[in-house]
Amino acid sequence: MPRFVICLGALFALILSLGVSVQTTRAAELVMVEGDGCPWCDAFDREIAPILARTPEGRRAPLRRIDLYKPVPADIAFLQIERLTPLFILVDQGREIGRIRGYPGPEGFWTQLSMLMDRLPKDGTAQEQASLTTPLRADH
């Protein structure tokens, strides 16, 4: 019986250590800050959201939605959330890569998202310059 307890404890420790390493190497994601009654969020939902996951950008950085009026999840609490919607923040390896403020329509969104995606490291690891970002802004 004691060997079983020791093995079980070792297995539990291994699982915990794997969980920590997975959290520190998170893949890229596009965080969308949205709020109820936001007409630009609704436009994004009609024009972009249905196809985003099937695009190379959406596969590399899946969309993650958060509500402007709810607490920010702990794993992205480092983000500075602005009081505007929609706000798109590209995150990779626990760092902000850049942001798109507002929704500039389909053409503007894809252009700005492409520019942000170009800032992602080619090999999938975080770059030191990732924290030195220049936000992109829509006129909305």
pLDDT above 80 for 12: no
Q: What pLDDT is recorded for position 91?
A: 98
The amino acid occupying position 77 is: A
The amino acid occupying position 127 is: Q
* Contact predicate 28/90, CB 8 Å: yes
Averaged pLDDT, 37-49? 98
Q: What pLDDT is recorded for position 122?
A: 83
pLDDT above 70 for 23: no
Q: What pLDDT is recorded for position 6?
A: 53
Note the pLDDT tens digit of each residue in 85-139: 999 999 999 999 999 999 999 999 999 999 999 999 986 544 434 433 444 545 4
**The whole model's pTM is what?**
0.72
Residue boundaries of the structural domains of the chain: 26-137
- Kindly list the distances between the CA atom of residue 78 and the CA atoms of 46, 53, 135, in Å, as whole numbers in the listed order: 30, 25, 16
Higher pLDDT, 25 or 29: 29
26-137: which CATH number, 1.10.10.10, 3.60.20.10, 3.30.450.40, 3.40.30.10? 3.40.30.10
The three-state secondary structure class of 66 is strand
Closest CA to 75 of 99, 51, 93: 93
pLDDT tier for residue 1 given thresholds of 50, 70 and 90 = low
Write down the residue that tokens 């794993």 correspond to.
Answer: 75
